[in-house]
Homo-oligomer: A and B are copies of this chain.
Amino acid sequence: MSTKAEERRKQVLRATLNAICDKGFTTVTLQDIADYADVSKGVISYYFKNKEDVFYHLLAAMTDRIFQNEYAAIQKEEYAVDKLRAYVNAAFKSPDDNRVFYRVYLEFLAQVNQNERFREVNNTFYKNCWFIGSEIIQKGQSEGIFENVEIESGSHMIRALIDGCLLQWLMRDNKSLHTYYRDNCYETILTYLNYKQA
């Protein structure tokens, strides 16, 4: 049954995520993944072409999930400022989630130079992020705010700051700084977008 197989694949990917988070991208072995998934090593080969293939699908699933989440968040809000807040909040979902996701995502980014498929997935992710940023800026401009910002470069800067903040937060390895970076990130973007409180 296709559903059962899909479930198994997800199980392996979940295990891979946690295994990488704990042991590191480079250190993690097929045996580790198998142990985390409570299956034998053969199962991984059965559902995936090889180790790289597991990683590829994990990266694709992770980035897609993040985008869906962020996009859904901004769509729930009506005004540009609220959309921005929702975007940043979605990016800074929770300390634990962010820690796992970003640790692993960072390892993937480091591999992008060595792996064309990883690069493609990340490029798609970037485009999606920029799309969100563009939507927010455009909405703002139709509201008469964010007027001095160029949409494309603005969306690039927004994502750069979000990633930069999350990266810095991750490196400092201090959960309590999560809201600090989240809020400062939001405020910084807002100031940058030249928003003047009415």
Interface residues in chain A, defined as those with a beta carbon under 8 Å from any beta carbon in chain B: 23-27, 103, 106-107, 109-114, 119, 122-123, 126, 153, 156-157, 159-165, 167-168, 171-173, 180-181, 184-185, 188, 191-192, 194
Residues of B within 8 Å of A113, CB to CB, are 24, 103, 173
A126-B172, A160-B167 given; name 14 further pairs at CB < 8 Å. A25-B110, A103-B113, A106-B106, A109-B110, A110-B110, A123-B172, A156-B165, A157-B165, A157-B184, A159-B168, A160-B161, A160-B185, A167-B167, A191-B192
Residues of B within 8 Å of A25, CB to CB, are 26, 110
A8 to chain B, nearest CB (A): 28
Supposing A24-B113, A106-B110, A191-B192 touch, asked if A161 and B167 sit within 8 A by C-beta, the answer is no
Q: Is the CB of B171 within 8 A of A167?
A: no
Complex Cα gap A117–B17 (Å): 24
A154 to chain B, nearest CB (A): 9
